[in-house]
Amino acid sequence: MTRLAAALVFAVVCACVLARMPLHAAAAQAQPAGNQWQFNDEDEQAPGWKDVVRSQAVDLGVFAGFTVLALVSFFRKDKTLKYVTLAACVVLLGFWKSQLITIVNIFGLISLDLPIFRYSLAWYLLATFTVVSTVLWGRLYCGRMCAFGALTQLMDAALPASWRREPPAWLERRASFIKYGILAAAILYFVVTRDRFIYRYIEPFWMFGFHGSIVMWSLLAVLLVATVFVRNLYCRFLCPVGAALGVLSNLTVFQIKRWKECKTCKICEKACEWGAIQGPKIIKSECVRCDDCERLYTDTKKCPHWLILLKDLKKAQPTVAAPSR
């Protein structure tokens, strides 16, 4: 049911965007006869695709390279490579380019004020990848392509685990709905006032450009101090973009597999940094595909699925198993 609803919403949004996306740059105006000004008219012509790509080659290269890195780390389930991805994310997409998917993009979708495709290829690459990857695998963007999420994950890896306080499950489950409230309130506020600048107070992403008022920096300080004790606090409970992608992630095509033993086993549930596992179920909208549980369930020494399988195997072939002791 949620899948169907999410699919419908997704289809409608896609149709609206495709219908309104400024695919074509403004056509150069007709030249009046006797162009006495002798302007170089080529300046005004919409550039050909070769020029377009050449002038945005650096941005495109950075985004394409980073996307490949993120995907390789995801498919190889490699922990080291994941942290390389996160560090690259903070540096490249954070401090260098300050290119994050933000609530402003959701406002842009609502008012259909999107950048011109031809002149903003890198942004469209990032936005398309975000949407497509969320439909295919879930909140992959949140897990390794958002610079702020990457920053708090790196913080968590660097800080001693003993400082960490895990909220009780009942509180965590309820708190995770706050972000949907923030998303709904922000959208309502935008629709009524058309004021986009509320983003500064509901998202900390401006920090990568160091543009902030004293109030904003103070709020960020409080948030970061709280994040020391409750890991990934912002992503799990507060982020409106995460909430929007969470809605979309109900469509997830390639979901994390579960064994039948997952009904009783709690190892992954305890290990999940994101509070996304509840008993046998993975809450898709909370999961950011961090690989932690997937690494565990392929681990033949830790996962009961394999341990039981091995035990059964030994039972079935006692004579074969015996000499090897």
Partner 1 sequence: MRRFPSLSPALAAIAVVCALVSLAAQAPAEARLQLQLKQLFPGATTFSPKGGDPPHFKAFNGQTLLGLAFWTTELQPLERAYDGPIKILVGMDTKGILTGIIVVEHHEPYGNFSVDTPGFAAQFRGKNIRDAFKVGVDVDAISRATISVTSSSRAIRNSARLAARQLLTAPTQ
Interface contacts to partner 1, rule CB under 8 A: 22, 25-26, 29, 31-32, 35-40, 43-44, 59, 96-98, 100, 102, 104, 107-108, 111, 113-116, 119-120, 123, 196-197, 199, 205-206, 208-209, 211
CB-wise, 193 or 317, nearer to partner 1?
A: 193
Query: CA 103 to CA 184: how far, in whole Å?
Result: 11
Query: CA 295 to CA 280: how far, in whole Å?
Result: 17
CB-wise, 94 or 246, nearer to partner 1?
A: 94
CB of 48 to partner 1, least distance (A): 15
Radius of gyration of the chain (CA): 24
Q: Residue 11: which of 99, 121, 131, 160 has the closest Cα?
A: 131
Helix (H) or strand (E) holding 278: strand 277-278
For residue 283, CA distances in Å to 79, 139, 173 come to: 22, 11, 10
CB of 168 to partner 1, least distance (A): 34
CB of 109 to partner 1, least distance (A): 11
Beta bridge partners of 278: 281
CB of 132 to partner 1, least distance (A): 21
CB-wise, 117 or 259, nearer to partner 1?
A: 117
CB-wise, 92 or 228, nearer to partner 1?
A: 92
For 91, the 3-state DSSP assignment is: helix
For 237, the 3-state DSSP assignment is: helix
CB of 213 to partner 1, least distance (A): 13
Q: Give me 189's structure tokens.
A: 């506020």
Residue 126's Cβ-count burial label (10 Å; 0-12, 13-18, 19+) is buried
CB of 191 to partner 1, least distance (A): 12
Residue-by-residue DSSP string for 126-191: HHHHHHHHHHHHSSHHHHHT-HHHHHHHHHHHHS-GGG--PPPHHHHHHHTTHHHHHHHHHHHHHH
For 282, the 3-state DSSP assignment is: strand
CB-wise, 36 or 324, nearer to partner 1?
A: 36
Handedness of CA 177, 182, 185, 190 (dihedral sign): negative
CB-wise, 141 or 206, nearer to partner 1?
A: 206
CB-wise, 170 or 197, nearer to partner 1?
A: 197
CB of 112 to partner 1, least distance (A): 9
CB of 267 to partner 1, least distance (A): 40
Q: Give me 146's structure tokens.
A: 């958002």
What is the residue whose two structure tokens read 């949407």? Answer: 131
CB-wise, 116 or 308, nearer to partner 1?
A: 116
CB-wise, 88 or 303, nearer to partner 1?
A: 88
CB of 57 to partner 1, least distance (A): 12
Residues found in the chain: 325
